[in-house]
């Protein structure tokens, strides 16, 4: 395990010899702001560890931080690096009390008191402070929230673009393509994720990146994510994006959310079923006493199936093929 990872797990993130020209400032534990002295063209938030056991993105973000600390990587953008749920990382758990990625957009105010609710409120405040300090009228706002999935996937690396009313621009989707993602999924309803909060509250180009399957610290095959790392480095230093080597990105739209409301909820899928599995029309995918869900003619792909979620939470998404939406009017 790398030294920075060891320090992350046993204490707060360490002080690094960060270049003074970047005006480094810790806004909270695990939240580092770096601001070039010249007016940056873009303000970028890169986050990982909102779920504490999704370790590959955390290790990737630690690599970027080490390169910045050594001077090998010199940001030309205003940059906010966020390590989300530090106690859950140290416990190798998804979360301690509540799923923090359902608590943003003020939802933490209605949640039971917990570390995750307090941290979600803190991350909202520091993100607002970052954009307020970094922004000029022409500054673009971007956000990449990196995760890994609980189960395997037929498209191993993919992005989830939150529901949005403001325009999303082609360069943002060019960036996703350069990361060698296999698929992009467009949400069709508001949610409590960090990426939706940043998109909605700050009119940012924001999304969630799912980078493979969740594994313990030290057991990730980080070369699998080399393209994402190369994209992030290009974004941070303002260099041209790497050329895509894979076939074109596959696009989907969320057609329906399967919301579990009963303890007597049944999901009719084997445990080994992968994300993006294509199901036959008419198949009863889930049921509970008040309703059942059947697969339609077009929305046939299942994403994030999980019968073990608490009542009131999403137990899966049904996807239909669909091009990315650049704005609500499209």
Query: Apex CA 78: angle with CA 73 and CA 83, to 5°?
Result: 75
Bridge-based pairing state of the strands 42-48 and 157-161: unpaired
Reduce the secondary structure of 260-301 to three states and give it as a string.
CCCCCCEECCCCCCCECEECCCCCEEEEECCEEEECCCCCCE
C-alpha span between 271 and 291 (Å, rounded): 22
Detail the DSSP E strand segments found in the chain: 25-28, 31-34, 42-48, 78-83, 140-149, 157-161, 183-186, 205-213, 250-259, 266-267, 277-278, 284-288, 291-294, 301-303, 314-321
Rg (CA), the chain: 19
Task: Give, as one character, the DSSP assignment of residue 163.
Answer: P
Instruction: Give catalytic status of residue 210 as yes or no.
Output: yes
Catalytic hit among 210, 256, 284, 330? 210
Phi/psi of residue 17, nearest 5 degrees? -75, 70
* 264 annotated as belonging to a binding site for a ligand: no
Whole-number Cα distances in Å, 68 to 1, 3, 74, 322: 19, 16, 6, 38
Task: Give, as one character, the DSSP assignment of residue 329.
Answer: T
* 54 annotated as belonging to a binding site for a ligand: yes
C-alpha span between 189 and 273 (Å, rounded): 25
The count of other CB atoms within 10 Å of the CB of residue 114 is: 16
C-alpha span between 46 and 307 (Å, rounded): 30
Dig out the tokens for 171 from the structure: 């360069």
C-alpha span between 31 and 283 (Å, rounded): 45
C-alpha span between 260 and 9 (Å, rounded): 34
Query: Quick check: helix, strand or coil at residue 114?
Result: coil
Active-site residue set: 210
Annotated binding site for Zn(2+): 51, 54, 147
Annotated binding site: 51, 54, 147
């Amino acid at each position: 395990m790398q030294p920075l990872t060891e320090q992350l797990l046993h204490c707060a993130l360490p002080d690094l010899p960060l270049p003074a020209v970047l005006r480094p400032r810790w806004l909270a534990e695990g939240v580092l702001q770096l601001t070039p002295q010249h007016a940056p063209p873009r303000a970028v938030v890169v986050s990982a560890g909102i779920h504490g056991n999704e370790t590959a993105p955390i290790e990737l973000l630690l690599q970027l931080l080490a390169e910045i600390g050594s001077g090998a990587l010199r940001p030309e953008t205003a940059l906010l690096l966020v390590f989300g749920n530090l106690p859950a990382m140290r416990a190798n758990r998804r979360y301690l009390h509540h799923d923090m990625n359902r608590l943003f957009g003020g939802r933490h105010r209605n949640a039971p008191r917990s570390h995750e609710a307090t941290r979600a409120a803190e991350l909202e405040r520091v993100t607002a402070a970052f954009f307020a300090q970094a922004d000029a009228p022409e500054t673009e706002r971007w956000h990449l929230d990196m995760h890994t999935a609980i189960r395997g996937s037929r498209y191993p690396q993919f992005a989830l673009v939150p529901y949005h009313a403001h325009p999303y621009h082609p360069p943002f989707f060019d960036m996703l393509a350069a990361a060698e993602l296999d698929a992009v999924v467009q949400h069709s309803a508001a949610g409590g994720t960090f990426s939706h909060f940043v998109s909605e509250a700050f009119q940012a180009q924001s999304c969630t990146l799912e980078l493979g399957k969740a594994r313990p610290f030290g057991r990730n095959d980080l070369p699998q994510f080399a393209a994402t790392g190369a994209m992030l480095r290009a974004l941070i230093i303002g260099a041209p994006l790497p050329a895509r080597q894979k076939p074109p990105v596959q696009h989907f739209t969320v057609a329906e959310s399967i919301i579990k409301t009963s303890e007597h909820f049944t999901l009719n899928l084997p445990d080994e079923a992968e994300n993006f599995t294509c199901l036959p029309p008419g198949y009863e995918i889930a049921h509970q006493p008040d309703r059942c869900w059947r697969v339609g003619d077009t929305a046939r792909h299942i994403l994030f199936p999980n019968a073990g979620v608490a009542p009131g939470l999403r137990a899966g998404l049904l996807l239909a093929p669909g091009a990315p939406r650049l704005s609500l009017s499209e």
